[in-house]
Amino acid sequence: MNMGSGADVHPSVLKERPEMSEIEIRTVREEDAASFCSTVDAVAQEGRWLGGSKGKTLAEAQAYITENLAAENPHFVAVDHADPETIIGWADSVRMLPDSRRH
């Protein structure tokens, strides 16, 4: 299910949750780390959409989210209103600026 702006809801989520009602797209939060970690790992294990076959550790996910928020990198998650603590999709973009262009 395409969520717009390049974000997709993983097909396995739709199979597991046919009752999905309304989906919210919001900025990631630091408290999302565990759910983000789980979702990235599920997608990575498919070996189709991400560069590796294993997701981030919880510590790596926490650091990634913290760094994205600090750098104001766009990082969005999709959650179902029926279960707003569980991430069902995400989209992010990490800007890589050379040191000479950083403020």
The domains found in the chain, sorted by start residue, are 11-94 (3.40.630.30)
Looking at residue 6, its pLDDT comes to 44
Q: Both tokens of residue 97? A: 């600026």
Contact present, 87 and 27 (Cβ < 8 Å): no
* Average confidence (pLDDT) per 10 residues, the chain, 103 residues: 47 57 90 94 84 85 95 93 89 78 54
Q: Side by side, which strands form the sheet with 83-92?
A: 23-27, 75-80, 83-92
Distances (CA, A) of 49 to 18, 61, 62, 94: 23, 18, 21, 17
For residues 88 and 17, give the distance between their C-alpha atoms in angstroms, rounded to a whole number.
Answer: 10
* Distance in angstroms (rounded) separating the CA atoms of residues 31 and 16: 24
pTM score: 0.70
